Amino acid sequence: QQPVQSPQAVILREGEDAVINCSSSKALYSVHWYRQKHGEAPVFLMILLKGGEQKGHDKISASFNEKKQQSSLYLTASQLSYSGTYFCGTAMNYGGSQGNLIFGKGTKLSVKP
């Protein structure tokens, strides 16, 4: 039931792009993305609520394909500050668990100068 994130880890040079994927075996109602730097709490990036919805701010954007039950996070022209572990959280599309949010195991992103 835990969403599957890929890749597990990625190393980039500054300025390179990356894509992090999040797939679920269950129908999704929403997908949440967070970034956690070492020794800190997770920080909210964005939430996607509708199938096909895309969002972005700065050079980080995301898409949500409801049919495929997956979301992708796009980081373009990466900066050193993008380093950290990225988590997707999924809320399922059935009424029983109204408040249950299930996170993936995370993708560790390292950006080198």
Partner 1 sequence: EAQVTQNPRYLITVTGKKLTVTCSQNMNHEYMSWYRQDPGLGLRQIYYSMNVEVTDKGDVPEGYKVSRKEKRNFPLILESPSPNQTSLYFCAISRGRNQPQHFGDGTRLSIL
Q: Which lies closer to partner 1 via its Cβ, residue 78 or residue 90?
A: 90
- Shortest Cβ 93–partner 1 spacing (Å): 12
- Shortest Cβ 14–partner 1 spacing (Å): 27
| Cα radius of gyration (the chain) | 14
Q: Which lies closer to partner 1 via its Cβ, residue 65 or residue 108?
A: 108
The answer to whether residues 73 and 56 touch, using CB atoms and an 8 Å cutoff, is: no
The answer to whether residues 110 and 83 touch, using CB atoms and an 8 Å cutoff, is: yes
The footprint of partner 1 (CB under 8 A) covers 1-2, 29-30, 32, 34, 40-44, 47, 49, 87, 89, 91, 97-106
Q: Identify which of 50, 69, 53 has the alpha carbon closest to the alpha carbon of residue 61.
A: 53
